[in-house]
Amino acid sequence: MEALNQALGTVAGYVWGLPLIVLLVGTGVLLSITLKFIQIRRYGLAVKIISGRYDDPSETGEVSHFRALTSALSGTIGLGNIAGVAVAISLGGPGALFWMWITALFGMATKYATCLLANRYRTVHEDGSVSGGPMYTIENAMGKSWKPLAAAFAVFTIGASFGMANLFQSNQVASSLYEAFSVPTWATGLGIVVFVALVIIGGIKRIGAVTGRLVPLMCGIYIVAAIVVLILKAEAVPDAFALIFTTAFTGVEPAAGGFAGIAFWIVLQQGVRRGTFSNEAGLGSAPIAHAAAKTREPVREGLVAMMGPFIDTITICTMTALVIISTGTWKLGSPPKVKASFYSAATAEAPAVERGPTIREAYDRGGDLRGTDVRWTGEVFVVQKMAFEDRVGLHLGGGMRESCFAVFPRSLGAADELQGGERITIQGKLHGDVGGAVLTTFAFSTVFGEWGGVLIIIGILFFALSTIITWSYYGDRAAMYLFGPRGVLPYRILYVIVIFIGAIYTLDAVVNISDILNGLMAIPNLIVTLVLLPKVIAMTRDYLERHRG
């Protein structure tokens, strides 16, 4: 299984390699140019539509513009906003945020076009319910001969819904609550199952009602906390922005204390890749939610949808990044979380374990470590120790290529005896995105102390729950497309069962498979968007000529 998982991780790296990134960003650039940067020109109109000014309950659809947006945001706002940003900065330096902004800016045009098409070519059933998304756009706009491409997208969507959107999210919530409050993983899994089942049984209307409250609440709490940090670190914010812009084009020079130099290509790659993971522009998931909006004007829903990357990446991810940079914690280098025993020379003798790659080597070689176990054993120095109520945080030095920050439960004992500068040996599992959450936790902890960790756990809980709920609808509509109404209930039952499995087991191979399928979703979605670009331009021109407000 370990060999299989490594192979799947390699495949996932190829899927999310340069060609797909170029296709995603290139499509956004092309759409921005041909649509005359509608994401900037019509930003104000989008805000008016979201406010409800153009809502008409009698129009076809199931949810309002606002609830369609919050449903889609529930699927995109997740661990990537907490952990993904930290990983991008730790691997690419502060300049990675600049390229995340660029990805989001052009991604707004991609979201506009894909969601406009999904709303235009949706299928309205006899009971008034709506099914839409790239699979319906492909078949309804391009004909039956394109159905295999539509079916492929639906299969990819169902697969992705079970992995990164379900197994991974429930596992991280369960493990976080266990480590912080000793909540049994089975209890967390059962609680999530009950909550999600009660929500998704009502379909998009109930999902929209829940996310319409949950998304503003979770975003508001997180943004307010970040603003508090930035106010207290106000003198460092201008320098943070300066670092973002200067290192975006120059890379990062090697620094003392454990941070390796970073080339420009790494900065660019991490910014684009993490930006795409964050807002999912072009992957084809959000159009499924926006297809359900009540409107007879697809362009309106496109305008609403384009606000997703702005809220997700340009707003929330920027907050996370500024907190990490302004507090100086970005200098700690790569921040994987080490879930392991550790040994002090004064208290125990480290077992003989073959040395694996260093943290930086593992990242350089494998890129994204989500779902991958990398064993790393080596002597390091404890540069700094932070004691919380039930855990100990250690800034681990030992050379530029091995520096990290790790959080250990206090129950491991030896942590209480460690002093600054003492040698220890660590062995265990490194998880890239969870590690990013550790760095973000440390950044908030510099202001809030132990409450910084609680804040991140609350964020993980809210963000993960919203992702699980929304992706259930994405898979639901894909099952409807492939199997008809009879396929929906079995899918929902299986979905909630998988939530429980994810909470009590770490299924790394399944997560890697899902990561592959998630990337493959983008290909059919971008193909249909590019083929139908003339219709997108025509519909946009027609609507804007009729509505100049």
In tens, the pLDDT along 134-161 reads 999 999 999 889 999 999 999 999 988 8
Q: Which is higher by pLDDT, 39 or 354?
A: 39
Average pLDDT for 434-451: 71
Look at residue 110 in the predicted model and tell me its pLDDT: 95
Reference 16, options 433, 359, 522, 401; nearest CA is 522
* Segments in 291-408 forming alpha helices (H): 298-305, 307-309, 318-326, 359-366
Span 337-450: which CATH code? 2.40.50
Q: At residue 175, does pLDDT exceed 90?
A: no
Highest mean pLDDT among 81-85, 204-208, 414-418: 81-85
Phi-psi group of 528: left, alpha or beta (phi > 0 → left; psi -120 to 50 → alpha; rest → beta): alpha
CA distance 81 to 100: 11
Tokens (6 digits) for 23? 């296709």
Q: Which amino acid is at 168?
A: F
The CA distance from 178 to 222, in Å, is 22
Strands, E, within 56-154: which ranges? 123-124, 130-131
For residues 15 and 481, give the distance between their C-alpha atoms in angstroms, rounded to a whole number: 25
- Which residues have C-beta within 8 Å of that of residue 167, sequence separation ≥ 6? 498, 501, 502, 507, 510, 511, 514
- The share of the chain scoring above pLDDT 70, in percent, equals 74
Identify the DSSP state of 293.
B
> Over the stretch 328-351, which tens digit does the pLDDT of each residue have?
777 654 433 333 333 333 333 333
Residue pair 492/472 in contact (Cβ under 8 Å)? The answer is yes
Is the pLDDT at 539 greater than 80? The verdict is yes
User: Any idea how long the chain is?
Assistant: 549
Mean pLDDT of 230-245: 92
Q: Which residue has the tokens 């100990």?
A: 392
The pLDDT of residue 35:
95
Task: Please tell me which residue, 54 or 374, carries the higher pLDDT value.
Answer: 54
Pinpoint the residues of the chain covered by CATH 2.40.50.
Answer: 337-450
Give, in degrees to the nearest 5, the angle at Cα 514 between 510 and 519. 155
**Range with the poorest average pLDDT among 136-145, 231-240, 358-367:** 358-367
Mean pLDDT, the chain, as a whole number?
A: 75
Distance of CA 391 to the CA centre of its chain: 27
The conformation of residue 57, written as its DSSP 8-state character, comes to T
Q: DSSP assignment, residue 52?
A: T
Average pLDDT over residues 2-25: 78
Residue 43 has pLDDT above 50, yes or no: yes
Taking residues 259-281, what's their average pLDDT? 71
Amino acid at 118: A
Query: In the numeric block, which tokens belong to residue 39?
Result: 């994401």
The model's pTM: 0.77
pLDDT band at 455 (very low <50, low <70, confident <90, very high): confident
The pLDDT assigned to 73 comes to 77
- Tokens representing 15? 């899927």
Tokens standing for residue 127: 């009971």
